[in-house]
Amino acid sequence: MNDRDALTVYATAFVDELAQNQIKDVVISPGSRSTPLALLLAEHPEIKIHINVDERSAAFFALGLAKAMKKPVAMLCTSGTATANYYPAIVEAFYSRIPLIVLTADRPHELRDIGAPQTINQIGLYGNHVKWFVEMALPESSMSMVRYARTVCARAVATAANEPAGPVHLNFPLREPLLPNLAEAKKYRQEKKQAAVAIEPGILTLSMNQLDAIAQEIGQAKRGLIICGDMKNDDIKGAVTELGEKLGFPILADPLSQLRSGQHSFANVIDCYDTFLRDEQVMDAFYPDVILRFGAMPVSKPLLLWLKKQQVENFVIDGGAGFRDPSGLATRMVYSEEERFCQDIVERLPENRDQGWLQRWVRVNEATKHALSSIRNEEELDEGKLFYKLNELMPEHSHLFVGNSMPIRDLDTFFFVNGKNVEIYANRGANGIDGIVSTALGVSTVKEKTVLVIGDLSFFHDMNGLLAGKLQGQNLTILVINNDGGGIFSFLSQASEKEYFEVLFGTPHGLDFSYTAQLYNTTYQKVQNWDEFSEVFTTSFSIPGLKIIEIPTNRESNVLKHRNLWSFVSREIASALNEEIQ
Amino acid sequence: MNDRDALTVYATAFVDELAQNQIKDVVISPGSRSTPLALLLAEHPEIKIHINVDERSAAFFALGLAKAMKKPVAMLCTSGTATANYYPAIVEAFYSRIPLIVLTADRPHELRDIGAPQTINQIGLYGNHVKWFVEMALPESSMSMVRYARTVCARAVATAANEPAGPVHLNFPLREPLLPNLAEAKKYRQEKKQAAVAIEPGILTLSMNQLDAIAQEIGQAKRGLIICGDMKNDDIKGAVTELGEKLGFPILADPLSQLRSGQHSFANVIDCYDTFLRDEQVMDAFYPDVILRFGAMPVSKPLLLWLKKQQVENFVIDGGAGFRDPSGLATRMVYSEEERFCQDIVERLPENRDQGWLQRWVRVNEATKHALSSIRNEEELDEGKLFYKLNELMPEHSHLFVGNSMPIRDLDTFFFVNGKNVEIYANRGANGIDGIVSTALGVSTVKEKTVLVIGDLSFFHDMNGLLAGKLQGQNLTILVINNDGGGIFSFLSQASEKEYFEVLFGTPHGLDFSYTAQLYNTTYQKVQNWDEFSEVFTTSFSIPGLKIIEIPTNRESNVLKHRNLWSFVSREIASALNEEIQ
């Protein structure tokens, strides 16, 4: 066989194996060296390709697809700096445990490190931020090399998906000619629908002895607490709420735990802890004797600070066998798949417990929520009230993506428990402000009724992501909170450095996003008041395509309003606690 | 001393040492963890800070500054994915040998790999694409640690600048409190203007014996050739032209060699080889017996293909001791600083040589240039003619930055030798289409009368870079050649795959860049004809700020026109050669 035939056989086997392993979505950025894979992906009848010119946005778009699909998604780019543009999304995927198959084209060995164009050192390019790196063999058509291409592919998919999920990187050296024989490709696809090697993923569980001991220990606790962060797997929701109810433990539910919305029981779910744990009286009155934590660490900084005061047995249950303990307080790392752990413990617990401890949490939670809800009377456009309004306005079975810095924090404070099945998304692996638009667009490709709430700097950072939305016709409602700069810094100590604050941290840009909307052909409205917001937001779901709704706010008054509200809430909590004592 | 004082002393020493080592420009992206360095940089009276929100653009902006200043520039960002956004520019800097000091803030050791926010593994983050990586010690105020901070800084600057120049990466673990005592900083700056350790960089030279042998060998050649690519150092121009003249060797001058414009002699400079070496008759008639190559490999693909046929002694002179040989034809790698090598050889050569061989090259070059100049009659807007027009229209002492893919190739074909002192810039380390706008903006910060010529996809890729231009008031004339997609692919074999071509390679975007111009508050004009272009272009130099001039072209007709022109030129060359024979 000649080089072209070898390329056709080998690359077709790899691409076909992606499909056999249920990888049906591939995000492609244009380039020359990647041509063989790009053409064969486009030609494969079961694979859907998504074109994205800017590789940084492309990788985040793939991340969003994988988040929404809860399975690996592949992406392909050409050699050179194109590959380096993937790095931010790969890092985010690694820390947020999202499976990605990263395919990069490369020059063959003889063209490396000799000054050839678009040739960089792609070996181990993403360092420790991928779970597996493979420098692929050059294309060959022998049976053993076809088996090799297929098995590496199957292993890559399994490695990416197994917990802790994450990105894998396959680098393809490719020689000219770069055009495979597309007419022949069909011959080398497999008719029978099965993977070259079916890899059965296992899950971590504990032994009977370990479970008995842990169940006994937890069962003896009088003031236990469950804390849930981003858990990714929806199946955990039922199991963890059942565990909480059987134990009489409150469940502090981060928005990304998905426990604040859905069809499960909310009896034990506490959603206002971020506010009431700022209060010293509460902090002192509600001390637990055991803590069970599931998923990533929650967003709430008051929770973190409060936890640091609780020197009690602190279980961190992690089916991905990591070490998620930024509070430095874990006393027990439990490496068991989370749903299985909950079920294993529940069946070992004797009977339902006294609910007194839980009820105290529920009461202060309700009092806090009541006080926070006073924000409904805020007449001006306000970052906190926006999330309060979203409680009302988000439709059933919708999807809410929030940016980092302030949006996720305001969501945490104001987005309360509801039965509307609103799924919450964010990029909390490394908490960057980059790539958010593209990640949300990836989600919106899979999920209906998706809303993105994002600050102006984060929106700016990934405006390029909007091109894919324009070209592919995604439906996404984008709420841009525009306070003309970095709002979060006004809450931090940097704000005291008046002389350098605006230039280094405030960074006002003065961008008029109506032009962004025109550039990408989206609908656009800068709202002036809440009535207008409600109308425009609600209408947006019946308009196809991208809808940008800009909410102008003010950084300085935003800080004041947040602080005033916390003072008010603090007084309300105090009086609620006093009533309880009387 | 407390933590804050230690931070103040240590970080001030480091920042002050940057200034002592003549690093006076630092590009800063906003963030929290980087606060101590950001504040002390802003506060230092000798350091100028440049704010750039998008770290990808920020790093390319720093690259542009360093290119134009021909010395290291520093950049600073916060922890997390912010650092990963630097990667593309770092890779480009590494391969194009541009010195950069990359400063990243990080969480301290105890907050790493435990799920803390904005914390990623920044140890060796940029892999083999930096010359030196240092994980800095935590701030301490002892004399030995102040010396440490200062000497690492001085070493970093020297390492970045020494040939082969390139990026270095210093990662700073920083604990809270993050606010240094600015009022005290002055105390810890050094009054006496000197570096902690003055590092005297050496250059590579050859021994007398080596030089004698090489001079004799070259001196015996009858049909020698000098080829110059990107050389960075202007001082080489005089030395290499003197060498060429003494030897009677033609000098094939890539646009980035800077040999096509300036005050030096043009007697031996050949600027149309990219066109006439496509011609088989020429390829066969002009075979050399020795080749001396300086700088990076030239852009021209016809030159590369022609070189592959020349199995002769092939010297590659490289003061950076690399292996720049994509043609696979080097027979002698000469590790000597280039200017010194030329001088060393010139003084060993007996007398001036017969000019017959040179004159044959000059004649075919002139015939080619005459034929190429027929493009002046092209009435429609055309990508090739644009560069022909720039020959006429670029002002004296101006700076021309060209994008990759087609602009650099059309420049190579149509931008002829001139005495106007037009410096040419491009990102040819990895030849990416990313970050070009920001790199050009970096150049325009230092150099007056800067023009960027860029294709639409490359312009799109780094539109975010325009924000710095808007906020900092840079003057830059941007010519966007808009053929609505990836023009270069129409010249490649991919064009034969009609079914998938537009979706995978053409990638039309339909963006109306007038909105980009409005977003970033630039002047904008889409020109309709050459008269309009000439007027708008010439006027642009008297208008402050960013000026976007859009030149609409057509991908399909562009390929046809290029091919027609090459056929015409080929016939003209043939008749010129025939005349010579007669």
pLDDT at B581: 58
Strand, helix or coil for residue B106: strand
Q: Is the sign of the CA dihedral B404, B407, B413, B419 positive or negative?
A: negative
Tokens found for residue B552: 């609409």
Q: Are B288 and B305 in contact (CB under 8 A)?
A: no
Kindly report, residue by residue over B287-336, the tens digit of the pLDDT: 899 999 999 999 999 999 999 988 999 999 999 999 999 989 999 999 99
pLDDT higher than 80, residue B1: no
In the three-class reduction of DSSP (H, G, I as helix; E, B as strand; rest coil), residue B422 is classed as coil
Residue A579: the pLDDT is 74
Q: Check residue A275 and give its pLDDT.
A: 95
Q: Which two tokens stand for residue A18?
A: 């992606």
Q: Which among B107, B41, B95 is positioned nearest to B73, based on CA atoms?
A: B41
Task: Please provide residue B534's backbone torsions phi and psi, each rounded to the nearest 5 degrees.
Answer: -60, -40
DSSP letters spanning A357-397: HHHHHHHHHHHHHHHHGGGGG--S--HHHHHHHHHHHSPTT
Any idea which residue has 């779970």 for tokens?
Answer: A131
- When the pLDDT of each residue in chain B is averaged and rounded to a whole number, the result is 95
Looking at residue A580, what is its pLDDT? 66
Q: Do A81 and B435 touch (CB under 8 A)?
A: yes
Three-class HEC string of A330-358: CCEEECCCHHHHHHHHHCCCCCCCCCHHH
Residues of chain A with Cβ-Cβ distance to B121 below 8 Å are 127-129
Helix (H, G, I), strand (E, B) or coil at A7: helix
Closest CA in chain B for residue A111: B326
Residues 6+ apart with CB under 8 A from A542: none
Judged on CB neighbours under 10 Å (0-12, 13-18, 19+), B379 is exposed
Give the residue carrying structure tokens 């520039």: B73
Q: Do A92 and B81 make contact, defined as CB atoms within 8 angstroms? A: yes
Q: Would you call B498 helix, strand, or coil by DSSP?
A: helix
Find which of A331-335, A469-473, B351-355 is predicted with most confidence, using mean pLDDT.
A331-335
Asked if the model's pLDDT at residue A1 lies above 80, the reply is: no
What pLDDT, on the 0 to 100 scale, is given for residue A581?
Answer: 58
Which of A92, A114, A324 faces B115 most closely, judged by CB atoms?
A324
CB neighbour list of residue B366: distance below 8 Å, 6 or more residues apart: none
CB of B247 within 8 Å of a chain A CB? The answer is no
The least confident of A31-35, A561-565, B81-85 is A561-565
Q: Nearest CA of chain A to the CA of B457: how many Å?
A: 8
Contact between residue B439 and residue B60 where contact means Cβ atoms under 8 Å apart:
yes
* Residue numbers in B near A32 (CB within 8 A): 488-489, 492, 494
pLDDT for the residue B280: 85
Model pLDDT, residue A327 = 85
If contacts are CB pairs under 8 Å, which of residues 486-505 in chain A contact chain B? 486, 488-489, 492-494, 496-497, 500, 503-505
List phi, psi (to 5°) of A101.
-110, 105
**Residues pairing with A332 in the sheet:** A315
First-to-last CA distance in chain B? 89
B3 touches chain A (CB under 8 A): no
- Mean pLDDT in residue range B431-457: 97
Residue A171 contacts B where some CB pair is shorter than 8 Å: no
Q: What is the mean pLDDT of residues B281-290?
A: 86
Using the predicted structure, report yes or no on whether residue A423 has a pLDDT greater than 80. yes
pLDDT at A235: 84
Measure the CA–CA gap between A281 and A367, rounded to whole angstroms.
14
Residue A405 pLDDT exceeds 90: no
Any chain B CB within 8 A of the CB of A106? Answer: no
Q: What is the pLDDT of residues A297-311, one digit of tens each?
A: 999 999 999 999 889
- State what percent of residues in chain A have pLDDT above 90: 88
In this predicted structure, what is the pLDDT of residue A434?
Answer: 98
Q: How much of chain A exceeds pLDDT 70, in percent?
A: 99
Q: Say whether A509 and B467 touch across the interface (CB within 8 A).
A: yes
Mind listing the domains of chain A with CATH numbers? 3-188 (3.40.50.970), 208-368 (3.40.50.1220), 378-564 (3.40.50.970)
- Bridge pairing between strands A476-482 and A450-455: parallel
Report how far residue A495's alpha carbon sits from residue B306's, in angstroms, rounded to the nearest whole number.
Answer: 63
Looking at the complex, report in whole angstroms how far the Cα of residue A545 sits from the nearest Cα belonging to chain B. 16
Distance CA A398, CA A260 (A): 13
Which of B 29-58 lie inside 8 A of A, CB atoms? Answer: 30, 32, 35, 38-39, 42-43, 49, 51, 53-56
Give dist(CA B50, CA A411) in Å, integer.
33
Reported as a pLDDT band with limits 50, 70 and 90, residue B47 is: very high
Which chain B residue lies closest to A491 (C-alpha atoms)? B32
Give one DSSP letter per residue of B189-220, joined into a string.
S-SS---SS----------HHHHHHHHHHHHH
pLDDT of residue A282: 80
Question: CB distance from A297 to chain B under 8 Å?
Answer: yes
- B53 contacts A493? CB cut-off 8 A: no
Could you say which residues from 344 to 373 on chain A have a Cβ atom under 8 Å away from some Cβ of chain B?
none
Q: Does B377 lie at the interface with A, CB-CB under 8 angstroms?
A: no
Distance, CA of B437 to CA of B422 (rounded, Å): 19
| pLDDT of res. B354 | 80
The predicted-structure confidence for B408-421, as pLDDT tens digits, reads as follows 999 999 999 999 99
Q: Token pair for residue B262? A: 């300036």
Q: Return the number of other C-beta atoms located less than 10 Å from residue B24's C-beta.
A: 15
Contact between A500 and B53 using a beta-carbon 8 Å cutoff: no
Write the pLDDT tens digit of every residue in B382-398: 999 999 999 999 999 99
Residue A443 · residue A450 · CB < 8 Å: yes
- Higher-pLDDT residue of B193, A247: A247
Pull the structure tokens for residue B222: 């009858």
- For the stretch A447-497, pLDDT in tens is 999 999 999 999 999 999 999 999 998 999 999 999 999 888 888 899 999
Identify which has the larger pLDDT, A265 or B351. Answer: A265
pLDDT reported for residue B192: 80
Collapsed DSSP state (helix, strand, coil) of residue B152: helix
Which residue pairs from A328-334 have beta carbons closer than 8 angstroms and sit at least 24 positions apart in sequence? A328/B110, A328/B114, A330/A293, A334/A206, A334/A214
β strands within B404-531, DSSP E = 423-425, 450-455, 476-482, 523-526
Is B303 in a helix, a strand, or coil? helix
Asked if pLDDT for residue B442 goes beyond 70, the answer is yes
Cβ-defined contact of A32 to B322 (cutoff 8 Å): no
Q: Is pLDDT above 90 for B476?
A: yes
Taking the CB of residue A203, how many other CB atoms lie within 10 A of it? Answer: 12
Question: Mean pLDDT, chain A, as a whole number?
Answer: 95
Q: What pLDDT score does A582 carry? A: 55
Mean per-residue pLDDT for B61-74? 98
Q: What distance in Å separates the CA atoms of residue B128 and residue B513, rounded to the nearest whole number? A: 37
Distance (Å, rounded) from C-alpha B457 to C-alpha B442?
Answer: 20
pLDDT in tens, A154-177: 999 999 999 999 999 999 999 999
Using a CB–CB cutoff of 8 Å, tell me whether A109 touches chain B.
no
pLDDT digits (tens, 9 = 90+) for B227-272: 999 987 788 999 999 999 999 999 999 999 999 999 899 999 999 9
Q: Is the ipTM reported for this complex over the cut 0.85?
A: yes
* Beta carbons of B67 and A70 less than 8 angstroms apart: no
Reduce the DSSP state of residue A477 to 3 states and report it: strand
Give the residue, A350 or B291, on which the prediction is more confident: B291
Pick from A42, A115, A430: CB nearest B80 = A430
Per-residue pLDDT averaged across B348-363, rounded? 88
